[in-house]
Structure 1
């Protein structure tokens, strides 16, 4: 029903809701605004309630196997408790407050200390804008199921063209009532809907009272300005509604205090005196359309690629489960392919008929195909411990959720198809599923100053991934590292070495960070070296964690007369062989 409504509203908007076909250039279009007053306070309370529920969840008894058909029906939704006097602050100023706090004299922009002195019982919490956006995302998703083409203006406020929904639902008032019904389902009793010519006028209509002139109130929380009546409705509003505080103060100094007075000024005079800022404020005050382009820019809704299969009756055999999930995996991978994406990691959730969920994330060194996803389902089902006393008849629900996606163009094979063979990947993944996650892997170049630090073992299921942190990237700056080429042989543990001059004296590092003598002979534990030293580099210093008192280390490259070359490192008055150039 919701999908059909969204499709019908979109078709109505396409048939008659575009501004290019039905309105002159620059003329405002009818806009609906959905607004939740004090949304940061609502988002904070919802986030706080969820954290409290999560903390109390382990104290509850889950026991899904003990529930029966005679369980009591869940109670009806409790009424929403009144919001206590609460304020959100950032940089010691109030950024949002509840209605009860406003009634006591707290205002947005007030200093935190002044707000607390005004209302000693005020609850003060830090304002987190990321919580506002995260909590408003489900609201947008619920609205987009019935009303396509929504533009989020800010958390708590969104706008859409009114013509399409009005044609589909039988009028602007009916469409507004549908929005209010959705708000009631989402526990947003104070939501407001404003309809007017243009986004600015519609937003001001949503904020208007029921008895304000020029606006109608056909239902609770719904304000509608008649067509071509937005300029008259805005005329009595203060100029601070259409501009910032600084520009409004300038206009007050000139005797312009209402939007009607600002709209009465000639546009050329406003442009010459105030520039682009004045023109924008005047166009809002006169309910004029945008200067260039469309006023609304609807977003593209985020698509959910997760798929789910309900097995009735439950399936206990792995082969039968994998066969039943083949179409499910094809739908998941095919949906990603339609959007030009591939899946590199997915999460498989298997829920049995008694409510126990078995969840695991799987990664792929390249990209998942439908057969790969089905194979992971079979392996995960086979790994579930079989307990004859546990009861249950098998898996009742399967859910596949893409965790990491990437552009398909970035995973196309090279000119010579340098990717591993499918049979190699199949057998290595099968071996890994039997021996463990870290039993099979490949070597990957990482970041670091020493050669040993630049080697990292990566499990096969992870494959080619980007470094999660900048300091793990080999491209990051590493003072003291070898610019290249690197030695062909790197010792897992540096070998003890000795470096002597021609007279047999040991060669060290002096106070000027130079060699105390010209090296002539090199000795490395476990290696036979018969050739003298012919060339050597200047030693360079590796300084790291000096704030912790870590000693300095020095590196030195040597070339022998027979062509062999060595990389040495000196630490604690001793030479060590770090690598060898063959």
Structure 2
């Protein structure tokens, strides 16, 4: 068996709060909100019961004086770039996992300082003197164990080689960060990683698939042992050259989107995923700027584009000697090359499909279709808030996280209760709702029908209910959007949801 990979993880607690508020903690009670949900909060806010994942109104119920700010992930990244540069000066090879969390191989720096504890103490001292006294450092076998160690109460924690399983055993299964599997484990009465690792590995694989087996290995502290990287196929490398040098980070990131999709398609055809990637940027003077990036699981196309953007921002910051906004232009880039440096079997990273176990073909097939149709060609649906059916559906390109523009958990007076129509017309389609004398049924200001509905879409009306008023944005010029809904069942056993606005009827949806 290969020796475990010793890594050093640096964790900066509550980094999004520091990026938003500036300066070292303590900070006043403050929380960051995205989609009306708390995504980060200060330690002083947690003392009053505020937690990440809470709805905004619940958090403010715990602390009425809570300051609430919008979350800006790009700000977190920009603020962390100078920290990465500082670490790089004292420990070359540092890799960003996410803003506030960095990782590097422990071997080189520990040899330089004469031991792992001495290396952690040196880094903690350097960062403390630079204004980051809150940093926590963990050294262990593999990234997962090292990150758990870094979250300990002391400035640094060293887990001796070969003792990761014993170190992780008392931790709750929630540290695996997989809601589906940890929820099932809790229902089975398995609450700690030690209890999880007590299960036989073949039984875990049979029940949870390869993804569950991977989590089982993590819980046993074996996440570094299988890291004998397969040599990447040279055909997995993709590059793009620009006719004229590009200077804006967003402009270049947009231009490499198709290249990133092509890398994912090549990986999919080879039935592998990328766990480490090297990105080479070539400027208009012929200089090449390279950097390797690690991922705790595996990269997707959006991750690759993000790494290109982060590398461009770091390059611009280094040349300007000060943090800059990502939209600011800098020296032109003429080519970008993306090289998978380490790959792994795709089956180890695929979640179950509809509860039927792993299906490694899912990601490959969808990625290939998306590459052929374009970034917007394959989308996933998420539920958003709203009064109209079309407002409650948000379509997001495959591989990106869906962020509903409106909170689906908030009350929406006038919205349609369950069950909802199975078919939604977007945009609504015009439809005729006629009375017995073939005249169009109308609705007056008081919500009263002029006549009973008799025909709809060429069929006879068997039953109907309503109308119900829907009126939103009353304060807007022109009185906002208003109308009246009606449910109609015709003699062909079709149930319609229609609404009347102005002088016309529109079909909003149809029940099946």
Report the TM-score when normalising by structure 2. 0.46
- Larger Rg computed on CA atoms: 1
Report the TM-score when normalising by structure 1. 0.41
